[in-house]
Chains A and B, each alone.
Chain A
């Protein structure tokens, strides 16, 4: 495991190379209609991660004690977190189907899918952010207060700077969770294969597309296999990329002095 973590860059590089070779040698097959699925999936999952991150981070700030709030606000935030965490994603999908598709009139659309995925991501992101903030909310927050750094500045300026890799990992974690949650969005995004032109367009997301190819399209198994392979490689790359980039960045920063003039002098 230690060897794997040390050489993860090589592993990722090998995985990407294999998938490229397999694509060019015709082992992996993708039809043209897949482009709409990819774009729709990207917009829905990235959009949901972006929309969910800020409120989840603020709620985590309340639960981790960064913000001074009345006790009932903390209890309320905790209750939201527990209720959402306790619900299976298919139930959240049903809620999304009733609330976003019908009551709010968004129909089977990207917007409904994004809002449903926000509900799915919320408790996971809150729990992850609380884990990130809890150890630093005591000592470092007191330090921040003594340096006239307010709680909002502490949350949005100090923490992302000192915990850049962890924050990146959490966001990617949210994104990959959204990528994998087919059950919730199956009921809210529709099944249209076209390229989405607005957030009110119906789209088909990748995992559901793979399922339909494998189960209901005659001869679709080969493309389903290719797409599944691509999803796995993509997730590996996404999950390891932030730590890798951060490590490369910090090691480069420690090697290169800030002020080259003085070193030259």
Chain B
């Protein structure tokens, strides 16, 4: 397969990409560039394949999902030696039902970080996600099931950060949270976007406007979702070029 020259020097580029579920076309993307840093908001109607796209990108999709096309990571076609790491945070905060310490140590063990460095690394991510002051020194023996929804979502982000991932994939991370917890998570996403790629699937136009640099709008056509528009957030939200995205945004904004 011939690699198409990159239009961005670093980051991920997706070209001529199609995702199939049970051999039926569900998502089509002609071209999408995810820059090395910044927050890219993925908008679109329910069922147009935003979450499926994230799963395929993170390579955690099930056997019924297949795809063809190109995912170019830092100038290399993704294959068995994919060097980019992805961390995923779900709509429903999902962590293992055990201690916070036990959850945080999984990515560190996977990355073969020396055991004596674990504590410092854990403390750092807990500070960054704002969990350290809330939990105090009790975090070591606190069970993740005893955390609130917002705290659990921030723990998911903390686990993702410990994966040392280049790209953080967030699938509607604030949809189940109250406004205060949402504000905290948004602040974390904003901070993280300064140092890495954050792909944020959201239904909230306001959230996309507040924290994203780039926006991508998915629309439905003939039973499958396709990327109808992407570019700087302000331009996509206020001056959409494609008719389908204009119609979608008009319905969302009202």
Contacts and interface: CB of A to CB of B under 8 A. Distances in A.
Interface string B56-96: 00101011000000000000000000000011101010111
Contact of A162 (B98, B101, B140): B98
Contacts of B110: 147-149
Contacts of B87: 146
A5 interface: no
A142 B60 contact: yes
B159 interface: yes
Interface string B99-131: 001100011001000000001000000000000
A149 B94 CA distance: 15
Interface stretch (A95-103, A107-115, A125-133, A253-261): A253-261
B157 interface: no
A140 B88 contact: no
Contacts, number: 49
Nearest to A263: B137
Contacts of A145: 60
Given A140-B94, A158-B96, A162-B96, A147 B63 contact: no
Contacts of B163: 147
A161 interface: yes
A259 B95 contact: no
A223 to B, nearest CB: 48
Given A143-B96, A162-B96, A262 B137 contact: yes
B97 interface: yes
Contacts of A256: 141
B102 A147 contact: no
A221 to B, nearest CB: 51
A148 B58 CA distance: 11
Interface string A146-179: 1111000000001001100000000000000000
A32 interface: no
A75 interface: no
- Most chain B CB within a 10 A radius of its CB, from A143, A148, A158, A262: A143
Given A142-B60, A253-B141, A254-B141, A147 B106 contact: yes
Interface string B206-222: 00000000000000000
Nearest to B98: A162
Interface string A241-265: 0000000000001111111001100
Contacts of B143: 254
B57 to A, nearest CB: 11
A215 B167 CA distance: 73
Contacts of B137: 257, 262-263
A259 B119 contact: yes
A68 interface: yes
Contacts of A149: 106, 110
A139 interface: yes
Given A143-B95, A143-B96, A147-B107, A161 B140 contact: no
Given A142-B60, A146-B86, A258 B96 contact: no
A69 to B, nearest CB: 9
Interface of A: 68, 139-140, 142-143, 145-149, 158, 161-162, 253-259, 262-263
29 contacts: A139-B90, A139-B94, A142-B60, A142-B90, A143-B90, A143-B95, A143-B96, A146-B58, A146-B86, A146-B87, A146-B88, A147-B107, A147-B110, A147-B159, A147-B163, A149-B106, A158-B96, A161-B102, A162-B96, A162-B97, A253-B141, A254-B143, A256-B141, A257-B140, A258-B101, A258-B140, A258-B141, A262-B137, A263-B137
Interface of B: 58, 60, 62-63, 86-88, 90, 92, 94-98, 101-102, 106-107, 110, 119, 137, 140-141, 143, 159, 163
Given A146-B58, A146-B88, A258-B101, 9 more contacts: A140-B94, A142-B94, A143-B95, A147-B159, A148-B110, A149-B106, A158-B96, A161-B98, A256-B141
